[in-house]
Amino acid sequence: MFKLHNFFRSSTSTRLRVALNFKGLSYDYVSYVLRRGDNRTEAYLQMNPAGLVPVLERKDGTSMTQSLAIIEWLDEEYPRPALLPRDADGRARVRALAYMVACEIHPLNNLRVLGYLADSLGADEDFQRKWFIHWVSETFDVLEATLARDEDTGDFCHGSEPSLADVCLYAQVWNNKRFDIDLSSWPTITRIFNALDAIPAFHSAAPPFQPDAS
């Protein structure tokens, strides 16, 4: 049994909930309200010195950080159903699609960056919204073109089974809802999101259905 230290709205937490659900692994849900500083207590910083969510605590009391590292670990330890293809080229493609979201959108748009823009530059809500949409659009335009062009794209980002790329895409589209971003210019992303949202393991991991949702 795992303990998932997380927050309903955190996009990296959503990724991890999806992966755990998808693999049929149960977990205790431990909620941290970031704006209240739940993640800055001494006990939490002991577990993750970065003060970020999510953390996955294992049965033996050890903790893991960084959502993508944890998902790779889950995929190695609990290989079925898989979140990475069997062939090396497929894995490279899935990881590249996942990192487009994880290294080019999410790091720019999380709460601490929006907070730093406000504190250091006096960026108001309007600018934060513009900033958020700018970085989503830059990469979603490329992701859309890539998915629409590649023969390897199927019902999901890579063929007919959900993968790590879908986990990241799904969490990011939910994150976009914070700023009501219109998805209509990205039809392939929209189609894949809708296909994922029809899968109970994904749907039940979405932010609004978590115990701490507000």
Interface residues with its own copies (CB under 8 A) are 49-50, 64-66, 68-70, 72-73, 76-77, 88-89, 91-93, 95-96, 98-100, 102-104, 106-108, 113, 116, 120-121, 123, 127, 130-131, 134, 139, 142, 145-146, 149
Q: How many C-beta atoms lie closer than 10 Å to residue 167's C-beta?
A: 30
Amino acid letter at 5? H
Report, in Å, the least distance between residue 135 CB and its own copies: 8
C-alpha count within 13 angstroms, C-beta hemisphere, residue 195: 19
3-state secondary structure of 31: strand
* Cβ-based nearer residue to its own copies, 80 or 198: 80
* Cβ-based nearer residue to its own copies, 26 or 62: 62
Sheet strands side by side (includes 27-31): 27-31, 2-6, 55-57, 63-65
* Cβ-based nearer residue to its own copies, 1 or 88: 88
Report, in Å, the least distance between residue 203 CB and its own copies: 26
* Cβ-based nearer residue to its own copies, 142 or 213: 142
Query: Residue 36 and residue 19: Cα distance in Å, rounded?
Result: 27
